[in-house]
Structure 1
Amino acid sequence: MNVSMERSVPVWMASGPVADAPLLRSDEHADVVIVGAGIAGLSTAYELMRAGKSVIVIDRGPIGGGMSSRTTAHLASALDDFYHRLISRRGLETARRYFNSQAAAIDRIEAIQQHEGIDCDFVRLDGYFFLSPGDDESLLEQEIDACEQIGFNGVSWVERAPVPGVDTGRSLRFPRQGRFHPRKYMAGLARAILRDGGRLYANTPVTGFQETADGVTLTAGHGHKIHAQAAVVATNSPVNDRVAVHTKQPPYRTYVIAGPVEAGSVPDALVWDTQEAYHYVRIQPTGGAEDILIIGGEDHKTGTVHDMGDRFAALEEWTRRHYPQLQSIEYRWSGQVMEPVDYLPFTGLNHGNTHIYIHTGDSGQGMTNGVAGAMILRDLILGLDNSWAEVTDPQRISLSAAGEFLKENIEAATHWVEHLTAGEVSSTNDIQPGQGAVIRDGLKKLAVFRDESGTLHARSATCSHAGCVVHWNPFERCWDCPCHGSHFAVDGSVLNGPAISPLAKADYEE
Structure 2
Amino acid sequence: MEASERTVSVWKEEVMPITAPSLEESTTADVCIVGAGIAGLTAAYLLQRSGVSVVVLDRGPIGGGETAQTTAHLASAMDEGFEQLIRLFGHEGAQLAYESHASAIDTIEAITRGEGIECEFARVDGYLFLGAGQAPDLLDRELEAATRLGFPGVERLERAPLAAFDTGPCLRFPQQGMFHPLRYLAGLVAAVLRDGGRVFEGTPVTHVDGGESPTVWTRDGLHVRAKAVIVATNTPINDRFAIHTKQAPYRSYAVALPVPELGVPRGLYWDTEDPYHYARLHRVQREDGGFTEMVIVGGEDHKTGEADDAEERYARLEAWARARFPVSGEMIARWSGQVMEPVDGLGFIGADPGHSKNVYIATGDSGQGMTHGTIAGMLLSDLISGRENPWTSLYNPRRRTLRAVGEYARENLKVARHYAEWLGRAPLSTPDDIPRGGGSVVQRGIHKVAVYRDEEGSLHEVSAVCSHLGGVVHWNSEEKSWDCPCHGSRFSPTGEVLQGPAFEPLEEVREPGAGDEDQEPEAPEELQRKAS
TM-score bracket, shorter-length normalisation: over 0.9
SS at match of 1:250: strand
Give the structure 1 partner of residue 121 of structure 2. Answer: 122
Residues 380-412 of structure 1 deviation map (CA, whole Å, 9 limit, x = unaligned): 001111001110000111111111111111110
Q: How does 1:332-481 map to 2 (within 5 A)?
A: 332-351=334-353, 352-481=355-484
Q: Which amino acid aligns with 1:258?
A: A
Q: Which amino acid aligns with 1:224?
A: L
Q: Is the 8 A contact 2:209 2:356 kept in 1?
A: no
Q: 2:257 aligns with which of 256, 259, 284?
A: 259
What is the alpha-carbon distance in structure 2 between the residues aligned to residue 132 and residue 258 of structure 1? 21
Residue 307 of structure 1 and its aligned partner are, at CA, apart by: 1.2
Question: Is 1:282 aligned to residue 285 of structure 2?
Answer: no
Give the structure 1 partner of residue 29 of structure 2. Answer: 30
SS at match of 2:29: strand
What is the alpha-carbon distance in structure 1 between the residues aligned to residue 374 and residue 140 of structure 2? 29
Q: 2:298 aligns with which of 296, 301, 304?
A: 296
SS at match of 2:143: helix
SS at match of 1:297: strand
Q: Is the 8 A contact 1:293 1:326 kept in 2?
A: no
Question: Is 1:13 aligned to residue 12 of structure 2?
Answer: yes
Q: Which amino acid aligns with 1:160?
A: R
Q: Is the 8 A contact 2:205 2:218 kept in 1?
A: yes
Question: Aligned pair count?
Answer: 503
Residue 7 of structure 1 and its aligned partner are, at CA, apart by: 8.3
Give the structure 2 partner of residue 269 of structure 1. Answer: 267
Q: Which amino acid aligns with 1:346?
A: F
What is the alpha-carbon distance in structure 2 between the residues aligned to residue 247 and residue 371 of structure 1? 24
Give the structure 2 partner of residue 493 of structure 1. Answer: 496
Residues 30-49 of structure 1 deviation map (CA, whole Å, 9 limit, x = unaligned): 00000000000000000101
SS at match of 1:231: strand
SS at match of 1:91: helix
Structure 1 residues 18 and 454, CA, compared in 2 at 3 Å: closer, same or farther? closer
SS at match of 1:246: coil
What is the alpha-carbon distance in structure 2 between the residues aligned to residue 328 and residue 374 of structure 1? 38
Give the structure 2 partner of residue 327 of structure 1. Answer: 329
Residue 18 of structure 1 and its aligned partner are, at CA, apart by: 4.8
TM-score (norm 1): 0.97
Q: Which amino acid aligns with 1:32?
A: V
SS at match of 1:388: coil
Residue 215 of structure 1 and its aligned partner are, at CA, apart by: 2.4
Residues 428-450 of structure 1 deviation map (CA, whole Å, 9 limit, x = unaligned): 11111111111111111011111
Q: Is the 8 A contact 1:259 1:330 kept in 2?
A: yes
Q: Which amino acid aligns with 2:351?
A: L
What is the alpha-carbon distance in structure 2 between the residues aligned to residue 123 and residue 324 of structure 1? 22
Give the structure 2 partner of residue 85 of structure 1. Answer: 84
Q: 1:247 aligns with which of 236, 245, 249?
A: 245
Give the structure 1 partner of residue 485 of structure 2. Answer: 482
SS at match of 2:226: strand
Quote the RMSD (CA, aligned, Å).
1.3
Residue 285 of structure 1 and its aligned partner are, at CA, apart by: 1.4
Q: How does 1:158-197 map to 2 (within 5 A)?
A: 158-197=157-196
What is the alpha-carbon distance in structure 2 between the residues aligned to residue 164 and residue 430 of structure 1? 49
Q: Which amino acid aligns with 1:50?
A: R
Q: Is the 8 A contact 2:193 2:199 kept in 1?
A: yes
Residues 97-131 of structure 1 deviation map (CA, whole Å, 9 limit, x = unaligned): 01110000000000000000000000000000000
Give the structure 2 partner of residue 45 of structure 1. Answer: 44
Q: Is the 8 A contact 1:165 1:322 kept in 2?
A: yes
What is the alpha-carbon distance in structure 1 between the residues aligned to residue 462 and residue 349 of structure 2? 34
Give the structure 2 partner of residue 111 of structure 1. Answer: 110
- Percent of matched pairs sharing the same residue: 50
What is the alpha-carbon distance in structure 2 between the residues aligned to residue 508 and residue 155 of structure 1? 64
Residue 416 of structure 1 and its aligned partner are, at CA, apart by: 1.0
What is the alpha-carbon distance in structure 1 between the residues aligned to residue 299 and residue 7 of structure 2? 16
Give the structure 2 partner of residue 3 of structure 1. Answer: none
TM-score (norm 2): 0.93
Q: Which amino acid aligns with 1:490?
A: P
Give the structure 2 partner of residue 63 of structure 1. Answer: 62
Residues 176-200 of structure 1 deviation map (CA, whole Å, 9 limit, x = unaligned): 0000000000000000001111100
Residues 18-61 of structure 1 deviation map (CA, whole Å, 9 limit, x = unaligned): 52111111001000000000000000000101111000000000
Give the structure 2 partner of residue 227 of structure 1. Answer: 225
Q: Is the 8 A contact 2:269 2:279 kept in 1?
A: yes
Residue 322 of structure 1 and its aligned partner are, at CA, apart by: 0.9
SS at match of 1:209: strand
Q: Which amino acid aligns with 2:337?
A: G
User: Which is worse superposed, 68-77 or 152-161?
Assistant: 152-161
Which runs of 5 or more residues in structure 2 are unaligned? 513-532
What is the alpha-carbon distance in structure 2 between the residues aligned to residue 345 and residue 265 of structure 1? 36
Q: How does 1:195-210 map to 2 (within 5 A)?
A: 195-210=194-209
SS at match of 1:389: coil
Q: Is the 8 A contact 1:468 1:481 kept in 2?
A: yes
